[in-house]
Structure 1
């Protein structure tokens, strides 16, 4: 009787072949590698041992990035899924007509209504009511307007497999109902953007909306805030579509996206002088620290509590209004955090209008989050 059955010999050869191929892959340059050196740089005043460690770190990153088919394997996986017409189950999936869609932070399930975090949504609504209760004696108007997920607006862009799931109540709709009951002014930006004259309201390869969508949303908020005269002239501010930088989703995809990157240009006035107001609350990313612009010595003051959707545009749009000072601050101490900003900054700024504009996919107040220096319901 042979020591090994025939099929076991073949299986052993197959296993050895796979192991050998894996070992060999560490010696063959990846055809999809970028072959750039990154990391490890040390300052000129660093010790020689620190500089040596940095060079070893750079070498490690180079080998990690460009050998072992680290870059090619995700592309092969994507090609197989495309061939099998299989819906993506990672952080990015492709819509019916080529738009890239983000699935991080449960965006797809949230927009479809299959995820409904009732307590977290109610806590966000309670937070908005608390802001209004604390600021109303000082004459502050609070308006809530959440930039929606692309999946909540560009319904015709959703992939065909999503047609099998019936529409359900979403967290966004639930929040609007809660705010209405609590007497807080809110704007349904889903409806505003669906009525846009442009059929593509979001960037083709990015998680964010187009410049036109941003301006239309701004105008809708001005109307809801009781300042229709503060709206900007869309034809004056928004220019034609043109090439746009590679979107954040396309950079993550690591392959050429189905659609080109385009966006409308913006024709904004020169920014005013930096506001002398200092925000004490700090964010994990320096670019997301609070800041403001001063346009006049006298007039209303506006504060936006939001995220990257409103970071660089809305403060500049107030240059077209009689607002004396416009400022922006992040709603959280971390990029994807929940509702833990410093309310002391808001109180010190004393806004006449407070706009809360957190992206739909991250607006729920998770894990009991609550702002610092604001009386908590707990």
Structure 2
């Protein structure tokens, strides 16, 4: 039998372990906090119905619980105060030279350095895009692929030697080669971002994302390669004056968002038209209708393009649509319903490969005729919830 002081210690230990779980049941952290860390909220695990699903269940449950326990942000700040990661980084982020912060999740830094090379997964992603290319071609639409580079790909010299590429081949290299072999139109945005960096900051210091100016330069490179040079935007007049911004998604991950700041500029474009949500949630799919004649362009991407590309496109097209790529799990039915003339596949480099077993919903691939859906349920239009003009 436990002695009295050991019983008290056991009760205290149990209370400490149970508190985050109990708080998570009644007052969980907002999903927006996860999105601000530059990643998607882990979904709830499904009841396993096969041996393979049973083996995957512990990992899925662990990822879900990590995102849904209570006091998560408080514990991040406490860990920061105890270990001073602002000086050294931690298992989630790396502080490079000059204080630039790099996200370590999804093997981002190792991916940029060529230290992780998932050949088969890259080939699988290219195969999926080849199937999409075929399905879109049959309906008279086109596909273009342009992957936004990781900040660690562009700021290699800010990283320690172990995290630098040093001539190694990367997944970005493999991906472009695989797409070229399949005849898919691609735009390599790495030289664009390197040129942007030579002039001024291409990415935010304390955040995974590129700057608004870099988004404009990427847009210009894409429309040039896509045969729409008249859609190019002036980087000077398209960007507003600088303002001070505290924190960033990487700074938030390591709990120092209140201690760092930098000057940022945002898009300053005329109103693009009428915007409507296609889905609920903190980063919904959405459409921007300009009210003028012109093609329908659909961008399938992530937070790098969510608030930037529809307003830029709306200066020239009839409709600009943005869909969350959901690690390749976006809903193909939106293509059936909205019938875009062009689809731009634009995940960030760290989302270049699909999550395990994930494919577009309602898309069977090259073996099925993807004719437009007639009738069906209308989208549930809602109010905007993402950071848009």
Q: TM-score, normalised by structure 1?
A: 0.73
Shift of 1:135: 1.0
Alignment of 1:214-225 (within 5 A): 214-225=215-226
CA contact (8 A) 2:135 2:365 kept: no
Would the alpha carbon gap of residues 65 and 124 (structure 1) be closer, same or farther in structure 2, given more than 3 Å must change? closer
Shift of 1:310: 0.7
69-78 or 152-161: bigger deviation: 69-78
Would the alpha carbon gap of residues 349 and 249 (structure 1) be closer, same or farther in structure 2, given more than 3 Å must change? same
Alpha-carbon distance between aligned partners in 2 of 1:257 and 1:356, rounded to the nearest angstrom: 35
- Equivalent position SS for 1:366: coil
1:233 aligns with 234
Alpha-carbon distance between aligned partners in 1 of 2:111 and 2:169, rounded to the nearest angstrom: 10
Alpha-carbon distance between aligned partners in 2 of 1:65 and 1:328, rounded to the nearest angstrom: 30
- Equivalent position SS for 2:236: helix
- Equivalent position SS for 2:237: helix
Alpha-carbon distance between aligned partners in 1 of 2:182 and 2:312, rounded to the nearest angstrom: 30
CA contact (8 A) 1:206 1:247 kept: yes
Alpha-carbon distance between aligned partners in 2 of 1:159 and 1:258, rounded to the nearest angstrom: 23
Alignment of 1:95-134 (within 5 A): 95-134=96-135
1:318 aligns with 313
1:301 aligns with 296
Shift of 1:65: 8.4
Alpha-carbon distance between aligned partners in 2 of 1:90 and 1:73, rounded to the nearest angstrom: 11
Alpha-carbon distance between aligned partners in 1 of 2:227 and 2:113, rounded to the nearest angstrom: 32
Alpha-carbon distance between aligned partners in 1 of 2:240 and 2:293, rounded to the nearest angstrom: 31
Asked if 1:212 is matched to 2:206, the reply is no
1:52 aligns with none
User: 1:80-99: per-residue Cα shift (whole Å, max 9, x none)?
Assistant: x94xxx6x451111011111
Q: Pick one of 307, 322, 328 that aligns with 1:328.
A: 322
Alpha-carbon distance between aligned partners in 2 of 1:65 and 1:194, rounded to the nearest angstrom: 34
Shift of 1:242: 2.5
- Equivalent position SS for 1:255: coil
1:191 aligns with 191
Shift of 1:373: 2.3
Asked if 1:274 is matched to 2:275, the reply is yes
Consecutive unaligned residues in structure 1, runs of 5 or more: 1-15, 27-36, 42-60, 333-337
Alpha-carbon distance between aligned partners in 2 of 1:132 and 1:144, rounded to the nearest angstrom: 10
1:287 aligns with 282
Shift of 1:256: 6.2
Shift of 1:38: 11
Alpha-carbon distance between aligned partners in 2 of 1:255 and 1:244, rounded to the nearest angstrom: 13
2:387 aligns with none
Alpha-carbon distance between aligned partners in 2 of 1:112 and 1:257, rounded to the nearest angstrom: 30
CA contact (8 A) 1:239 1:267 kept: yes
CA contact (8 A) 1:303 1:327 kept: yes
1:242 aligns with 243
- Equivalent position SS for 2:345: strand
Q: TM-score, normalised by structure 2?
A: 0.71
What is the number of residues matched between the two proteins?
Answer: 311
Asked if 1:371 is matched to 2:378, the reply is no
Alpha-carbon distance between aligned partners in 1 of 2:167 and 2:332, rounded to the nearest angstrom: 37
1:74 aligns with 80
1:159 aligns with 160
Shift of 1:349: 1.5
